[in-house]
Amino acid sequence: MKSLVNFVEKDNQLVITLTDEGKEELENLKNLPIMDALAELFEDYMCNGWVWVSPEEIGALTDAPIISNDYTYIDDEANYYHSVYWFPDYMIKNELKELENVKLIFIKTTN
């Protein structure tokens, strides 16, 4: 299976764009909840070093999607991250519409 999105890290941002296959697949995912659709679109990356990070794991007071390629689970009580990417406009913008309209940008934050 080819990747449905491209991730490019640049200037403290993660720029996410759809591949041609992703553009086709997005049509099939529009009826899903946003996080489920993002999980489908990001699957290739999530199977290759990227992880979803729950806000509670890092003490974030948000419901924004958060991902990282620099995150290690130490045990059930503690984990470590150097940096994560998140979508701060999650309350006012639709992540899928952002992707459909060219790109989705996650912002980098570090601990």
Asked if 108 contacts 22 with a C-beta cutoff of 8 angstroms, the reply is no
Question: Could you give the number of structural domains in the chain?
Answer: 1
Each residue's pLDDT tens digit, 49-102: 999 998 888 788 899 999 999 877 666 666 666 789 999 999 999 999 999 998
Count of CB atoms within 10 A of residue 111's CB? 9
Distance CA 16, CA 55 (A): 20
Residue-range definition of the domain harbouring residue 27: 5-110
CB 96 within 8 A of CB 29: yes
For the chain, what's the residue count?
111
Q: In what order do the strands lie in the sheet with 79-86?
A: 5-10, 13-18, 104-110, 79-86, 66-73, 51-52
pLDDT digits (tens, 9 = 90+) for 19-38: 999 999 999 998 999 999 99
